[in-house]
Amino acid sequence: MKPQNKSLYSLFLGIFIVSIFIACQAAQPKSQKQSDSQQTATVAEKTDTAKADTGKAPITKGRKVIVYYFHGNMRCPTCYALENYAKSEVESDFADAIKSGKLEWKTVNVETAGNEHFGDDYKLYTKSVIVSTIVDGKEASWKNLDQIWQLVHKEDKYRAYIKNEVKACLDGKCL
C-alpha cells in the first residue's frame, strides 16, 4: 500500500471508530444511564469487600458460581441486549440456586475505580459474560462465554448457550 493510501486508511479507520463510540453513547437510554450509575456504586461496594482475600470474589464456604457481565462506560443497544438476555436467563432458570446462595449474578463496569483488575484477571477486551466457580472462598475456575457476540441476534440460541454453560458450572463441569 502506498504511504498516501495508508494515511487515508488510518484516517477513515479512526473516524469510523470514533463514530461507533459516539453512536453507542447516544443510543444509551437515559433511564439506563441512571441505573448504571446506581448499579456501579453497589458493585464497587461489593467488590471492595470481595477483594479482601482473593481479589475476585466474596469469601464463601463450599461451592458457588458467579456469573459476571462486564462492560465499560460506553454501551450500545447490542451491549444492553447482551446483558439483559443473560441476566434474565440466569434469574429465571436458576432462581432456586440464586436463593440458596449457590449462584450469583453481577454486572460490573470495568472502568469504575476498583474494578479495573477484572480486565487483567479475565483477559477482557470487550463486553463479556464470565462464569466463575468459587470453592471454599477461592476462584477454582472461570470461563469466558466467548460465543455471546455471535449469538446475540439469535435470542433463543443466546439464552440456551447461557443456560447450558451456567448449568454445567453448577453441576461441577465447568472448565
Domains of the chain by start residue, with CATH = 29-170 (3.40.30.10)
Region 152-174 average pLDDT: 94
pLDDT digits (tens, 9 = 90+) for 68-77: 999 999 999 9
Evaluate if pTM is beyond 0.75.
Answer: no
Collapsing DSSP states into helix, strand and coil, what is residue 105?
Answer: strand
Backbone angles phi, psi at 28, to 5 degrees: -70, 125
The β-bridge relationship of strands 103-109 and 128-135 is unpaired
Distance in angstroms (rounded) separating the CA atoms of residues 95 and 105? 11
